[in-house]
């Protein structure tokens, strides 16, 4: 968090609030992500964490160039709220995209498992029929 560290080291008021806001955005991101059953696998969680970290890094770099000029803080006023809203928007779209991908994979795997189970039942039925003869 380049922006937060720079704000903290320059003793800018609101640096702790800024960090709390980013952590709150991550809590909401995780809450929305885990609300969908297809997102609860180990690989899905790993993908979500890496994707969220990349989105946070991108937002952090944008914030740094918007709020700091030559490492001097520039107060953008109320217009800065629009730039801070960049992270929750990115995380929201990330949850939607990842959830769509994971749900489609989940349904595909579920159908594949059902097909395999039907095949096994058919084999078992055929084997019992053959043994009884």
The model's pLDDT over 12-54, given as tens digits with 9 standing for 90+, comes to: 888 888 899 999 999 999 999 999 888 988 999 999 999 999 9
Q: What is the mean pLDDT of residues 71-80?
A: 86
Domain that holds residue 87: 2-101
Report residue 113 as tokens: 């498992």
Overall domain count for the chain: 1
Residue 58 has pLDDT above 90, yes or no: yes
Residue 111 lies in a domain: no
In a domain, 67, yes or no: yes
H-state helical runs in the chain: 2-9, 15-34, 42-67, 80-84, 86-132
Distance CA 11, CA 15 (A): 8
Residue 26 lies in a domain: yes
Q: Give the containing element (helix H, strand E) for 13.
A: none
Query: Are the C-beta atoms of residues 29 and 95 closer than 8 Å to each other?
Result: yes
In a domain, 130, yes or no: no
């Amino acid at each position: 968090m380049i922006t937060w560290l720079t704000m903290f080291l320059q003793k800018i008021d609101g640096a702790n609030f800024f960090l709390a806001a980013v952590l709150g955005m991550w809590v909401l991101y995780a809450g929305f992500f885990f609300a969908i059953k297809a997102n609860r696998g180990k690989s899905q969680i790993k993908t979500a964490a890496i994707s969220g970290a990349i989105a946070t890094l991108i937002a952090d770099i944008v914030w740094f160039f918007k709020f700091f000029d030559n490492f001097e803080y520039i107060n953008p006023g109320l217009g800065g709220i629009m730039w801070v809203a960049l992270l929750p928007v990115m995380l929201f779209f990330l949850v939607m995209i990842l959830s769509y991908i994971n749900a489609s994979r989940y349904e595909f795997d579920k159908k594949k498992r059902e097909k395999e189970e039907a095949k096994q039942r058919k084999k078992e039925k055929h084997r019992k029929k053959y043994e009884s003869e």
